[in-house]
Structure 1
Amino acid sequence: MADKTKTIFLFSGQGSQYKGMGKDFYDTIPECKKVLELGSDILGFDLAAKIFDGDEKELSRTIISQPAILAMSLMALEAAKSKGIEASAVAGHSLGEYAAMAASGMLSYENAFRAIKYRSEAMDKAAQANPGGMAAVLGLKADVIEQACKEIEDGGEYVTPVNYNSPVQTVIAGTAAGIEKAKEALSAKGAKRIVPLAVSAAFHSKLMAGASEEFAEKAKDIPFNAPSIRFYCNVYGNELTDFSDMPAYLAKHICSPVRFTSELDVISKDGYDTYIELGPGKVLTGLVKKTLDGVTAVNVENPDTLEKAAAL
């Protein structure tokens, strides 16, 4: 078993959902079934039906995908617990921070689902009011991308870096016209690839300001506890130590960049060498391997990957 004091749990973000995720855990681990039942009660729709029987297009809608990914992440957490896998720190990518808060004891599972309900509804509304897009830029350093986006913004279109995923992968977000101009400018500057993301909004940008305000108002009634283990955060790219106003922090999180590269750098310097991603897919596992040397990174999303993580 991996050394708990050097192990961190990571939680997946938006876009990682897929039909049928977590079905093995749901069928074989009672606590996992309870997670989906609890989520369904709070959300007002059948999460299991949406994840296991719904179509991919509906599952990709932010109002469905956000609670579905949270549910899958909490099922993976329960599966890890069933094998005695423990960690002394948590971090999440974008909406993964909600699962990280639940794993750290900051939020009960019930309140994590309530918070993600408020977030997904507010973001769905903002996406319709301010449509936009996102694209992953591969093979360019962040400062080059920042400068290009600033020049485009100075010219009257909006586009900005929003996910600092690895030293050579940054996601940009903005208006459709802003994204198109950025694709031209960044290709000319030597980007290896620019991959449009399957979203209809500019998440983590100022186009989400309406969602941020709505969430801040609704989330005032959600109780937060101090975490029982270390919590690393996207907004500041380091360990969060001030938990006095978490609704305000999460409201800011909606329209602030995800500084995941900085976060990983700090986590590594703090001595963590085992990274276990809990949730759908292995995007974060890949980012850890690309960003950090000499560490172990695995994901848990089904019985096979669970056994590999338990064997560390």
Structure 2
Amino acid sequence: MKRIAFVFPGQGSQEVGMGKAFYDQYESVREQFYQADKRLGVPLSQYMLEGPDETLTKTENAQPALLLLSTAIVKLLEDKGVQAELVAGHSLGEYSAHVAAGTMSQEEALTLVQKRGQLMEQAVPAGQGSMAAVLGLDVEAIERVTTEIRDQGEVVEVANYNCPGQIVISGSKEGVDKACERLKEEGAKRALPLNVSGPFHSRLMKPASEQFSKELGHASLQDATIPVVANVTAQPVQDQEKIFNLLVEQLYSPVRFEETIQYMMDQEIDAFVEVGNGKVLSGLIRKVNRRMKTFNIQDPESLEAFLEWYKED
């Protein structure tokens, strides 16, 4: 049997119309969308299928929307007999990974990520936090510059180690703006502010993490049935107590995605399957290793294409 890893996209991969083809074709998907609307008390499926875009893009809507589609696809894959050897997600996507690994139910995860999104939105007043993607500069230079700017009293740090040549920084607006100027001087090809609502994966998310730990404490977490490679450590975890601590830390710690992919590749994986909307993670994986086989499943056609490969002898 082929050895595969599931990876799950995070915030930014949402778009109006996501999941529509699955919704139209599968009664089980329609039922999950209906139950999610009921559980969350908002017409989430309408935001996903019809928009408007500005409503779907709100953190408290985008996070459960992405999780709902990813985990609905996982259920379809399970029905087809597809089993992953290990799983991981990018930021929010780590929750979809935990649903796939049996750590939490889809229903509980939806409530958690809705609350997570609300707390992240509230942690820093609008306009005071920022994030930026830094392209074409080595990690050491970025870490040195962000440390220098922190020493000057501003908040800025690495938020995502995505792939070679693509690092995301996060912090106060002033800190990120200063860092972008300095990083361009250091030779970065580009330093682009991101269209996000807050300084995610920075120390400015600490207050949100403290409140979120109480929410997570009410959830009935289980040990994972397959290893989940954690964002914070880029190492596998299955113990529920460790998972709890890592999910709290994840809010203010960098996402070590490149190391996560490298670890998973070392486990003799035949292919990565990006489960959910978009192809962002597949692109990052190919930048880590361009020969690695990747699939993304976001509609029935891409599901069938993957299954055809998976069932080949």
> Please, what TM-score do these two structures have when normalized by structure 2?
0.94
Q: Does 1:88 pair with 2:85? A: yes
Residues 131, 32 of structure 1: CA spacing in aligned structure 2 closer, same or farther, 3 A cutoff?
Answer: farther
Q: Match of 1:63?
A: 60
Alpha-carbon distance in 2 for matches of 1:105, 1:61: 27
Q: Match of 1:48?
A: 45
Worse overlay, 33-42 or 222-231? 33-42
Deviation, structure 1 residue 82:
4.3
Task: Select which of 20, 27, 35 maps to 2:24.
Answer: 27
Q: Match of 1:248?
A: 245
Counterparts of 1:91-170 in structure 2, within 5 Å, are 91-128=88-125, 131-170=128-167
Greater than 6 Å deviation, 4+ residue runs: none
Alpha-carbon distance in 2 for matches of 1:293, 1:130: 38
Alpha-carbon distance in 2 for matches of 1:169, 1:234: 16
Q: Unaligned stretches of 5+ in structure 1?
A: none
Deviation, structure 1 residue 194:
1.8
Alpha-carbon distance in 1 for matches of 2:32, 2:115: 18
Q: Match of 2:207?
A: 210
Deviation, structure 1 residue 263:
0.8
Q: Match of 1:76?
A: 73
Q: Does 1:270 pair with 2:295? A: no
Alpha-carbon distance in 2 for matches of 1:18, 1:127: 25
> How many residues align structurally?
309
* Overall identity of the aligned pairs, in %: 38
Alpha-carbon distance in 2 for matches of 1:285, 1:177: 32
- Does the CA-based 8 Å contact 1:235-1:257 persist in structure 2? yes
Q: Does 1:192 pair with 2:198? A: no
Q: Note the alpha carbon deviations across 1:18-45, whole angstroms, 9 max, x for none.
A: 0010001011112211221222122111
Residues 37, 166 of structure 1: CA spacing in aligned structure 2 closer, same or farther, 3 A cutoff?
Answer: same
- Does the CA-based 8 Å contact 1:29-1:79 persist in structure 2? no
Worse overlay, 135-144 or 34-43? 34-43
Deviation, structure 1 residue 289:
0.7
Alpha-carbon distance in 1 for matches of 2:55, 2:272: 31
Alpha-carbon distance in 2 for matches of 1:97, 1:135: 21
Worse overlay, 29-38 or 96-105? 29-38
> Please, what TM-score do these two structures have when normalized by structure 1?
0.95
Alpha-carbon distance in 1 for matches of 2:147, 2:69: 37
Deviation, structure 1 residue 80:
2.8
- Does the CA-based 8 Å contact 1:79-1:306 persist in structure 2? no
Alpha-carbon distance in 2 for matches of 1:84, 1:27: 22
Worse overlay, 69-78 or 151-160? 69-78
Q: Match of 2:281?
A: 284
